[in-house]
Every structure is written in structure tokens, then in C-alpha cells.
Structure 1
Amino acid sequence: MTGGTLSPTPSEDVHESPSRTLIAASFRYATWQFEDTTFWDEIDSASRVARHIEAVGPNLTYTAATSLAEVLAARDDGGLDAVRAYEQQYGVHPEVAIPAETLAGLARTNGLEFINHWRAARASLET
């Protein structure tokens, strides 16, 4: 994990919903690494991961770009088969809130950087 601090107070950033409508919402953005994988997370006020991105290697080959809202919608609309299909295309979404002690060790990033990686990851995974 890379070091850094993450503000305990969410900042006002622009969030892009799955329907591509921009809305103002409070999120914190963090990035971290484990072995050769880089992660970017959009974290809500309850410390849950709202959106999650993973990329492997120095060339940042995207392997996941998930949204909690999309996973829940898939579950509610289509059940377990829909969730499996979603995970097959976009990867697996983190299920638990991030503990405060872990949040403190994540490097902070900004909403624009997150959205740029989100768009690139989604484009890569949707082809």
C-alpha cells in the first residue's frame, strides 16, 4: 500500500452516475497499490466503496471498474445470474466498508483523476 493521508471529511466533488448525469455529491477518492495492482476507490460518507477500479502492471491494464449502485441494481433486477454477468464484465466490487485505520493509510487522489481512470477502465472493459 502506498502511504498518504485521506481527509476524514468528504469533499464536494462531481460524481458521474451510471446514467452519465453529473450530480454534486460528497465522496472521497483514494488510490493504493498491492503488488503489481493499482486501485482507485470512490468512498462515500459511510466509508463504503461507491465505485472501484483495478489496473495491473506498469501499463495499467484495467481489470475492474465496478459500481455498488450497478451491482445492487443487477441483484434487484435480475438476481444472482445478473450479478454474475456484471462481475464477469466489470469485475468484483468490494463488499464491506473500509475501516477507519485503513482509510488513514490510503493515498488521496481527486475526483477528476478518478473519473478519468473510470472512463478509461469502462471503455477498456466494454470492448
Structure 2
Amino acid sequence: MKNMKSDEKTVQAYQVGDIVRTTESFGPNLAGSIGIVYETYPDNEMPASEIVSILLTNGHDIGSFNQAEQTESLTWLAHVDISYAYSSPSQLMTDFRDGYFNQAFAEARAVADRLV
């Protein structure tokens, strides 16, 4: 599925490091915000489906998305090579502040700019 056009609405098998664009606003974050999948885990209510968690480039954690929410709210853009083992919200924010995601977000912005 990774060769699909980035604007297609389809079920996407997201993985850590996938870059997404939001299709709607989340709090103060406008539709079109860029983020990265930092965690995936099984959706116990829907076998063979995963929930994904998204961190925006501004450091806002916009939460977790089940498969239906992913299809409605996220557009896959690209994948960057990053490994991340989520442990807690406070560690995620520490890692963001310490620059762990800087390179991945720089790549994400470059990809998003090419697609505009």
C-alpha cells in the first residue's frame, strides 16, 4: 500500500515512522498539520487492526486513532527511518524537547512541501 497516492482515502497499514497529514483540526492544530506515527498497538475491538498514535511537528500529541478514525482523519504521506519505543506521555515530551524527532520532522516537512 505504500505506493498509493498520498491523497487517497483508504485503509493504511501504518507503522512507526510514517508521516501523516491531518484532514481536520485537532484543538488549535489546523487541518493539514504534519505528524509522525510514534506508536502502534493492536485494536482489541477489531482483529487484524492497529491503533496509531500521532505526534505533530509542533510537539502536540493528538492522541490515538482506530482504523475508522485513521481513514477519516489522516492522510499517509511518506515513511522516515526512525525507531521509537513509546513508554509514557512525559517521556514522549522529554524526547520531543531533547530533539529526538528533529531529523524525522525535517524530512516530514520536506516531503509535505513537495506535495503541496
**Shared fold (TM-score, shorter chain, > 0.5):** no
Q: TM-score, normalised by structure 2?
A: 0.36
Hey, which of these two has a bigger chunk of helix by percent? 1
Q: TM-score, normalised by structure 1?
A: 0.33
Hey, which of these two has a bigger chunk of strand by percent? 1
